[in-house]
A and B are shown apart, each in its own frame.
Chain A
C-alpha cells in the first residue's frame, strides 16, 4: 500500500501520470503465500554519489522473480534525466556519461515505471538500506508517495542461511563467488539487480530447505535477528 504525502510541494503531474499514480494505490501483496509462488522484485540503483540522503538517483535496474524463475523479458532498466550532470568522479564509477544521464526519462516517469513494474511485490536488494533510502526519497519527492512493499536485504539473509560462509563474504561479489555464480559484466543497475536475483534464487531454495515456507516467516526471522543483535 502506498500512502500520499500532502505536505510537500510536488512537481506538477500531467493527467496521464496522475492516473498512473492513483492506480498504484491498488497494489497489494500477501506475504503469507508460499515462498515458491511469491513474486519478488529485485532492484539496484545507481546514484551520483555514496550519500543516500543527498546524491541524485541516476538509474534503476529491476528484475522480477515469479515462481522461483527470473523472467528475462520482464526486466526494467531506466535512467533518470538530471537537471545537470553529476561530477566527473562518479561518472568514472558508474560509466554513465553525461549524455546518457540526460537521455533517460523524467524522474517522475521513471519512478512510475518502476513502481508499476514492482506490482507491490516485496523488494529485494543487496545492502538494501541504501537502495531503500534512495528510492523512498525519490518516490516521496517526485510522487508524494511512500513505498509500502516490505524490503528484504540479501546481504542479511545470506549470512543467516549460510553462517559458515558469512565470515568470508561481505560484498555481493563474495557471495556470488561463494556460490560459483558466473555473472555477466556488472556495474550497471540492471546487471547488479540480475546478479542479486540469481543469489536470491539460491537463498530461496535454501530457506525452503530450512522449512521457511512464506515471506512472512522469513521476515520474522530477520526481525528476530535484528532484535538479537540490538539487545
Chain B
C-alpha cells in the first residue's frame, strides 16, 4: 500500500498512480515503483524537437512518454514507429548497449519521464516484472535484427533499387589482370586457376588496355590456331568498354545489351577495380524457387543434380539477403531438397525393373522429416514397404544404396550413424516398423529414446505415402496409450539444458574441438524440437514440423497465444542464426557446422540469443510441469 511508503511525498504518489495505468508499471511492486519514481526527471519537448539522435554510443537515458506522441524515424527519414503516452524507448539500444538506430522526434508537444541508463539497468535487476517486459519484447527486437541483416547483405528486395546499386557492390574478388606481353598460356592458366571467364589486360599502372574472354579464346586462339606463346595483346579486344565502379547496375545492363558483351571491366580513378559479368548482374533473377524446381524436374541426367544442389545454396543466400524468416527459409530448403531427392529416386526407380509392383515409401527423418533443414545436413532416411520376399528386399536395399550415394554426391553426407534406407536395419516392412517402434516405446532405454527422437519425426517423401500415414496414425495411438514412455522422453529431453549460466550469460563449450562456442543445434534448437515432439505425441498430432506441431498442440495444452508466439519466434531466431552461421562458413569455404562463438554476434543478436535460450528454458519448464519432473 502507498500509505506504507513513508518517504513518498504526494508528488511521488501521484506519479506512481499515473504510471500504474500503463504496462509494465501496472505489474510492478510498490517498492520498485517508488524506487523508479524517485529517480525520474521530467522534460518537455516542443513539437518537432529531437529527443534522441541515432548514435554510435548507447543512449544515456530511458524515455517514458508522460504525455504526447513521439515519432521514430530511420536515418533516411522514414517514420517507422509512433509512440504514445506510457510507451518507452529506446529499449533495444539500452538493452544491447549500442547506439539508438532511430531518430526520435516529438510529433506533438511532449512531456517525458527520463530514467538514467545506470538506473534503468539497476531497475532491470530489481524488478522481475520490468525485466520481463523489457526482455520479452523479442518480436520487436527481432525486427531490428532483421533490418541489420538485410543491410549487412547489401542487397535489396526489388529489382528497381537493386539496379540502382553501384556496380562496386557486385565485386566479389580482386580482378584477374595480366600485362600485355603475358603469353597466352600463362593468361589462360590463370583464368583456369581463378575459375573466371575473362582476363583484363592492363598497363603497369593498372589501366585497362584490353580484355579476353573464354568465348574469344575459341574463335581467336583455338580455331585460329594461334600458338600459346603469343603475347595476349595480339588477340585481346583492345580498348574495352569500361564503367566506373560507382555507376549503377542499370548502366551495365544497358551497355551489355547495346554492345552485345558479357564482361565489363570496372575502373576507379582510371585503374581496374573489378569485372562484372552478365551472370553477376542476373544472378539473383536466375535463382528462384520455381526456376530450381523446374530445372530439377526436367533433369534427366543424375550427374547434373549436384550443380543444382549448389544453386539451392545460392538461393538461400539471396533469400537471407532479402530478410526471409527462418521458418519459410528452412521450409524452402527442405522442399527443394525434397524435389532433388524425389528426382534422384525417380531416376533410380525408372532404371530398376526389380521394383515393379512393389509398394514402398521413402521416409525422410530428423530435420528433413520436420521440414527444418539448414545447410549442414546429413542424410537421415529410411524405407517402409508393404510386404516383400528376400529377393525383393535385396532389390529395395540396392536401390536405396544408389539413392544414398547419389544424395552424397549432391552434398548430403552419408549419415555417420548409418540411419539410411540402405541400412537393412532401417529398410523394414510396415509390420516390422510397428514392432520396432513398440520395442522402443516399451523399452525406454537411452538408445531407444534417442532412436525415437530421430525416427518419430518421419514423413513420406516418395513412393506410396499411405504406408507412412498409416504408421503415423498407429504410432500416435501407441504413444498416447503409454504415458510412461512420454514421461521417459520428457525426462530425457530435460537433460539437455539450454546453456544459460547463473548470471544469465552463456555457458560455453570448453571442448578442444570447438572452444568458446555454443552448439546452436544441440543447445539451442534441440530443446524446442524435443519438447514439442512430446507435445505432439501426447496430443496425437500428425504434424512433424516443430512450429506446426506447437500450433496444433497449443490449444489442447492450453498454451497461451503469447507464449506460443514467443516460443516460435525464439526457435526460428535460433534456426536463422544457424543458417547465417553456416552460410558464412560456406562462403568462406569451410564445411558448415553449428558451433557459434557468441562474441562474433552483434550486441543486439547476442541479447536476442540469450532471450531465445531463455524461451527454450520456458518450454522445458512447461514440459517439466506437464510430466511432474
Contacts and interface: CB of A to CB of B under 8 A. Distances in A.
B137 interface: no
B44 A198 contact: yes
A40 to B, nearest CB: 13
Interface string A40-84: 000000000000000000000101000011111101110000000
Interface in B1-17: 9-12, 14-15, 17
A154 to B, nearest CB: 14
How extensive is the interface on chain A, given as a class? Answer: 20 to 34
A191 interface: yes
Contacts, number: 70
Interface of A is mostly: mixed
A38 interface: no
Contact of B109 (A179, A191, A194): A179
Given A77-B9, A198-B111, A69 B18 contact: no
Interface centre among B10, B39, B40, B113 (most CB of A within 10 A): B10
A167 interface: no
Given A70-B42, A72-B42, A188-B10, A182 B15 contact: no
Contacts of B12: 72, 75
Interface in B61-88: 67
Nearest to B113: A72
B43 A77 contact: no
Contact of B14 (A185, A205, A209): A185
A201 B42 CA distance: 9
Contacts of B11: 61, 63, 72, 75, 77, 184, 190-191, 194
Contacts of A194: 11
A64 to B, nearest CB: 10
A8 B215 CA distance: 111
A72 B38 contact: yes
Given A73-B39, A202-B109, A184 B15 contact: yes
A73 B38 contact: yes
Contacts of B10: 77, 188, 190-191
A211 B43 CA distance: 20
Given A72-B41, A75-B12, A201-B111, 4 more contacts: A72-B38, A72-B40, A190-B10, A198-B111
List the 4 closest A-B pairs by CB distance, nearest first.
Answer: A184-B14, A201-B44, A69-B41, A70-B42
Interface of A: 61, 63, 68-73, 75-77, 179-182, 184-185, 188, 190-191, 194, 197-198, 201-202, 205-206, 209
24 contacts: A69-B43, A69-B114, A70-B42, A70-B43, A72-B11, A72-B15, A72-B37, A72-B40, A72-B113, A75-B9, A77-B9, A77-B10, A181-B67, A181-B111, A184-B11, A185-B14, A190-B9, A191-B14, A194-B11, A201-B42, A202-B109, A205-B44, A205-B46, A209-B46
Interface of B: 9-12, 14-15, 17-18, 37-44, 46, 49, 67, 109, 111, 113-114
